[in-house]
Structure 1
Amino acid sequence: MVVKMNLKHVDELSGGRKRFRRRYPKSLVPVLGEAVFQVAMKAREGGALVSEWESLMKTYDRNVAKAERAAGVAGADDRLSPLELWREARRDAAAMLAAFKDDLTEDERRELLGDELERREADPVLYRAVVEPDAPEPKPTLLDAKNMYLQERLEGGTGRNNKNRLDRVCKRIEATLGPLNKLSLVDLTRDQARTLRDAMLSTRKADGTRLAPASVRRELDMIKAMVSLGIKEFGLQREADNPFIDLPISSKGVAPDVDSSKRDPLPKNVLLAMRDRMREKAQVPALGLIWRLLEGTGCRGAEVVGLRREDVVLDGLYPHINVAWHEDRRVKTKASIRSVPLVGDALVAAREALTLSEGEPMLFPKYARENGPDAASAALMKHLRTVTKNPRHVVYSLRHNMKDWLVLAGTSERVENRIMGHTVGGLGDRVYGGNDAKLKVAYEAMEKAIKGMP
Structure 2
Amino acid sequence: MQIRSGVLSITLKYCYQRGSTHYFQRPVPRDLQAQYGKTTIKLNLHTSDISEAARKIGALNRQLEKEWESLRADPDSSLRATKKHAEAFLAAWGIAVSGERDEEMEHAIELLHDHLDKKRVAHAAGDEEVYRDANGGDYLSKVESTAMQMLAGTLRDSLSDAFELYLEHHKKRDDEKFANFSRAAFQTLIDAVGDKPVEAVSRADARAFVAKQQAAGLKTGTIRRRLSTVNAVMNSYISEKELTRTNPFESLQIAGEGSDKKKRVPFTPDELTAVQAKCREVDDYIRWLIALLSDTGTRIGEVTGLLLDDLVLDGPIPHIVIREHPWRSLKTSFTAREVPLLGASLWAAQRIKENARPGQRFAFPRYTNEERCNADTASATCRPDGAAWPRGVICWVSLGGMVVGE
TM-score of the two chains, using structure 2 as the length reference: 0.72
Which SS does the other structure have where 1:175 is aligned? helix
Aligned amino acid, residue 201 of structure 1: Q
**Aligned pair 1:157/2:156, yes or no?**
no
Residues 375 and 11 of structure 1: CA distance in aligned 2, closer, same or farther (over 3 Å): farther
| Pairing 1:2-401 to 2, within 5 Å after superposition | 10=13, 24=29, 45-46=50-51, 48-66=53-71, 68=72, 73=74, 75=76, 77-80=78-81, 95=95, 109-116=108-115, 123-125=143-145, 128=148, 133=151, 135-153=152-170, 154-158=172-176, 160=177, 162-178=178-194, 180=195, 183-204=196-217, 211-235=218-242, 237-238=243-244, 240-251=245-256, 255=259, 257=261, 261-262=263-264, 264-265=266-267, 268=270, 272=274, 275-276=277-278, 279-280=281-282, 282=284, 286-355=285-354, 356=356, 358-369=358-369, 370=372, 372-381=374-383, 383-385=384-386, 387-388=388-389, 393-396=394-397, 399-401=400-402
Contact 1:50-1:156 within 8 A present in 2 as well = yes
Which SS does the other structure have where 1:318 is aligned? coil
Cα deviations across residues 271-293 of structure 1 (Å, max 9, x unaligned)?
636754675484xxx33322221
Q: Structure 1 residue 398: deviation in Å? A: 9.7
Counterpart of 1:408?
none
Residues 76 and 324 of structure 1: CA distance in aligned 2, closer, same or farther (over 3 Å): same
Q: Which whole-Å CA distance do the structure 1 matches of 2:386 and 2:53 have between them?
A: 36
Q: Structure 1 residue 266: deviation in Å? A: 7.2
Q: Structure 1 residue 52: deviation in Å? A: 2.2
Contact 2:166-2:237 within 8 A present in 1 as well = yes
Q: Structure 1 residue 330: deviation in Å? A: 0.4
Q: Which whole-Å CA distance do the structure 2 matches of 1:278 and 1:47 have between them?
A: 39
Residues 373 and 214 of structure 1: CA distance in aligned 2, closer, same or farther (over 3 Å): closer
Which SS does the other structure have where 1:339 is aligned? strand
Residues 94 and 19 of structure 1: CA distance in aligned 2, closer, same or farther (over 3 Å): closer
Contact 1:176-1:196 within 8 A present in 2 as well = yes
Q: Which whole-Å CA distance do the structure 2 matches of 1:223 and 1:281 have between them?
A: 44
Unaligned 5+ segments in structure 1 are: 98-103, 205-210, 403-454
Q: Which whole-Å CA distance do the structure 1 matches of 2:299 and 2:330 have between them?
A: 10
Q: Which whole-Å CA distance do the structure 2 matches of 1:190 and 1:54 have between them?
A: 34
Residues 388 and 364 of structure 1: CA distance in aligned 2, closer, same or farther (over 3 Å): closer
| Count of residue correspondences | 366
Q: Structure 1 residue 309: deviation in Å? A: 2.9
Cα deviations across residues 65-116 of structure 1 (Å, max 9, x unaligned)?
33x37xxx3545443575x77777666655489xxxxxx8876553334334
Contact 1:81-1:143 within 8 A present in 2 as well = no
Cα deviations across residues 277-326 of structure 1 (Å, max 9, x unaligned)?
675484xxx33322221123121111001112332222332221111122
Contact 1:357-1:363 within 8 A present in 2 as well = no
Q: Which whole-Å CA distance do the structure 1 matches of 2:213 and 2:399 have between them?
A: 31
Q: Which whole-Å CA distance do the structure 2 matches of 1:34 and 1:107 have between them?
A: 22
Contact 1:4-1:366 within 8 A present in 2 as well = no
Q: Which whole-Å CA distance do the structure 1 matches of 2:304 and 2:59 have between them?
A: 22
Which SS does the other structure have where 1:366 is aligned? coil
Which SS does the other structure have where 1:367 is aligned? coil
Which SS does the other structure have where 1:243 is aligned? coil
Residues 214 and 5 of structure 1: CA distance in aligned 2, closer, same or farther (over 3 Å): farther
Residues 136 and 341 of structure 1: CA distance in aligned 2, closer, same or farther (over 3 Å): same
RMSD, matched Cα: 4.4
Q: Which whole-Å CA distance do the structure 2 matches of 1:96 and 1:234 have between them?
A: 22
Contact 2:76-2:82 within 8 A present in 1 as well = no
- 1 or 2, which has the higher helix percentage? 1
Q: Which whole-Å CA distance do the structure 1 matches of 2:391 and 2:41 have between them?
A: 47
Cα deviations across residues 242-275 of structure 1 (Å, max 9, x unaligned)?
11111122327x63637xx146437746863675
Residues 296 and 96 of structure 1: CA distance in aligned 2, closer, same or farther (over 3 Å): closer
Which SS does the other structure have where 2:227 is aligned? helix
Q: Which whole-Å CA distance do the structure 2 matches of 1:175 and 1:168 have between them?
A: 10
TM-score of the two chains, using structure 1 as the length reference: 0.65
Q: Which whole-Å CA distance do the structure 1 matches of 2:27 and 2:392 have between them?
A: 39
Q: Structure 1 residue 189: deviation in Å? A: 1.0
Q: Structure 1 residue 366: deviation in Å? A: 2.7
Q: Which whole-Å CA distance do the structure 1 matches of 2:59 and 2:215 have between them?
A: 35
Question: Which is worse superposed, 345-354 or 39-48?
Answer: 39-48
Residues 20 and 376 of structure 1: CA distance in aligned 2, closer, same or farther (over 3 Å): farther
Contact 2:95-2:105 within 8 A present in 1 as well = no
Residues 22 and 281 of structure 1: CA distance in aligned 2, closer, same or farther (over 3 Å): farther
Q: Which whole-Å CA distance do the structure 1 matches of 2:214 and 2:96 have between them?
A: 50
Which SS does the other structure have where 1:244 is aligned? coil
- 1 or 2, which has the higher strand percentage? 2
Q: Structure 1 residue 199: deviation in Å? A: 1.9
Aligned amino acid, residue 221 of structure 1: S
